[in-house]
C-alpha cells in the first residue's frame, strides 16, 4: 500500500531514530497483550536529533548529504517507512534538490515547515523570535516540492508553525487550507501546549472542510495525552520525535561521572546491559 493511503486510513505511530542502532531498536520493538499487538509503523528522522548527535544546533546547519549517509545506514537495518524532517528546506533551489534526492532514495514522507530565515527548534516557542514564511511563498515551496519528487510514493507534508509562534488558531486553520489547496498531501500541525486544545480545534476546523486530509501531531509537549485520544480527535499519525535520543543522555552522563568518581566500573555495571547482551544484539557475520 502506498504511504499516502496508509496515512489517510491510518492511526499510525512512528519513532525517532538517529543512527542504525536506534533504527534497529525502533524497528524491532513490539508490545503484545491478549489481542493487542503494537509496533511502530515507521521511523522519524528528526532535525533536532540529527543535530544533537553531531553536537550542532538545530538550525539547518547539518548538511543533507551528511544526514543522508545516516539514513542509508538506517535503511539497511530497517524496512519501515521513513519520514524525514527537512526543516524549512532552505531556498527554492535547495528545497528542490533535497526533495528530489530524498525521493530518489525512497523516502516515504518529507516534512517542510513554514519558517523562514534563521530557524530555531520549535520547542523554544516564542522565547526565540523567528519568522513564519508568507503563505504565498510557502505555497510556492509546496508546489516546488511536488515537482521535485520523482513519484507520488514520497508524500509532501506541510508543517504549520502558527500555534508554536503564538499566531493562533485562525491563522493555523487558514494556512492549513491554503497549503492543502497548494497541493500538500498531509499537514503537521505543531503544538507545544500541555492540553493541546488549540491543536484539536485546528484539526476540527480543517477536517470540516477537508475530512480526509491526514493530520500529523508531535506530542513532545503533551506527553500525557494518549494516542487513542489523539486519533479520536482526528490525528492520523503520531510522531515520537526525540524519545530514543532522550533515553540515553542521562544514563551516559551518570556512567561517565561514576567511572571518574570510583575509578572502576563495577558501581555502574548494574545500569548497563551485559557484554553478552551486546554480543547478542550485534548482527551475526555471514557463515561460510
Give me the residues that bind ligand SPV (CB under 6 A), please. Answer: 46-48, 85, 121-123, 218, 220, 241-242
Q: Does 161 bind Mg ion (CB under 5 A)?
A: no
Residue 242 binds: one of ligand SPV, Mg ion, none (C-beta under 5 to 8 A by kind): ligand SPV
Question: How far is residue 256's CA from residue 249's CA, in Å, rounded to a whole number?
Answer: 11
Least separation in angstroms between residue 138's CB and ligand SPV is 16
Residue 15 binds: one of Mg ion, ligand SPV, none (C-beta under 5 to 8 A by kind): none
Asked whether 179 and 160 are in contact (CB, 8 A), the reply is yes
Residue 218 binds: one of Mg ion, ligand SPV, none (C-beta under 5 to 8 A by kind): ligand SPV
| CB closer to ligand SPV, 34 vs 61 | 61
Least separation in angstroms between residue 287's CB and Mg ion is 42
Residue 155 sits at φ, ψ, to 5 deg, of: -85, 135
| CB closer to Mg ion, 48 vs 239 | 48
Least separation in angstroms between residue 113's CB and ligand SPV is 7
Secondary structure element (H or E) that encloses residue 113, with its range: strand 109-113
Three-state SS at 81: strand
Torsion of CA 55, 58, 62, 66, to 10 degrees: 80
Question: Could you tell me the sign of the dihedral formed by the alpha carbons of 103, 104, 105, 106, in that order?
Answer: positive
Residues that are catalytic: 58
16, 60, 85, 161: which one contacts Mg ion (CB under 5 A)?
85
Least separation in angstroms between residue 137's CB and ligand SPV is 20
Asked whether 186 and 239 are in contact (CB, 8 A), the reply is no
Asked whether 41 and 9 are in contact (CB, 8 A), the reply is no
| CB closer to ligand SPV, 180 vs 239 | 239
Cα 281 to the center of its chain, rounded Å: 25
| CB closer to ligand SPV, 223 vs 281 | 223
| CB closer to Mg ion, 47 vs 164 | 47
Q: Does 47 bind Mg ion (CB under 5 A)?
A: yes
Region binding Mg ion by CB under 5 A among candidate stretches 35-43, 78-86, 155-163, 168-176: 78-86
Q: In angstroms, what CA-CA distances link 100 with 59, 144, 188?
A: 22, 10, 21
Question: How far is residue 145's CA from residue 98's CA, in Å, rounded to a whole number?
Answer: 9
Residues binding Mg ion (CB under 5 A): 47-48, 85
Amino acid at each position: 500500500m502506498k504511504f499516502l493511503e496508509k496515512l489517510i486510513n491510518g492511526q499510525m505511530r512512528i519513532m525517532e531514530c538517529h543512527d542504525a542502532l536506534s533504527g534497529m531498536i525502533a524497528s524491532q520493538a513490539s508490545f503484545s497483550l491478549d489481542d493487542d499487538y503494537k509496533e511502530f509503523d515507521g521511523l522519524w528522522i528528526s532535525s533536532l536529533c540529527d543535530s544533537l548527535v553531531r553536537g550542532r544546533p538545530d538550525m539547518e546547519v547539518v548538511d543533507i548529504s551528511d544526514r543522508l549517509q545516516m539514513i542509508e545506514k538506517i535503511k539497511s537495518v530497517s524496512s519501515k517507512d521513513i519520514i524525514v524532517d527537512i526543516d524549512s528546506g532552505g531556498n527554492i533551489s535547495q528545497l528542490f534538490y533535497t526533495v528530489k534526492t530524498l525521493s530518489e532514495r525512497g523516502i516515504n514522507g518529507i516534512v517542510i515547515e513554514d519558517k523562514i530565515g534563521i530557524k530555531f527548534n520549535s520547542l523554544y516557542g516564542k522565547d526565540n523570535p523567528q519568522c513564519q514564511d508568507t503563505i504565498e511563498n510557502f505555497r510556492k515551496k509546496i508546489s516546488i516540492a511536488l515537482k521535485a519528487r520523482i513519484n507520488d510514493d514520497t508524500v509532501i507534508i506541510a508543517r504549520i508553525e502558527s500555534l508554536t509562534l503564538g499566531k493562533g488558531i485562525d491563522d493555523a486553520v487558514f494556512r492549513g487550507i491554503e497549503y492543502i489547496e497548494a497541493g500538500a498531501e498531509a499537514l503537521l500541525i505543531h503544538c507545544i501546549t500541555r492540553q493541546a486544545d488549540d491543536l484539536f480545534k485546528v484539526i476540527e476546523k480543517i477536517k470540516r472542510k477537508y475530512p480526509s486530509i491526514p493530520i500529523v501531531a508531535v506530542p513532545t509537549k503533551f506527553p500525557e495525552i494518549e494516542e487513542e485520544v489523539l486519533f479520536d480527535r482526528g490525528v492520523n499519525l503520531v510522531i515520537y520525535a526525540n524519545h530514543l535520543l532522550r533515553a540515553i543522555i542521562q544514563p551516559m552522563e551518570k556512567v561517565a561521572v561514576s567511572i571518574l568518581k570510583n575509578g572502576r566500573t563495577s558501581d555502574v555495571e548494574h545500569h548497563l546491559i551485559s557484554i553478552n547482551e551486546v554480543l547478542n544484539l550485534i548482527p551475526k557475520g555471514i557463515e561460510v
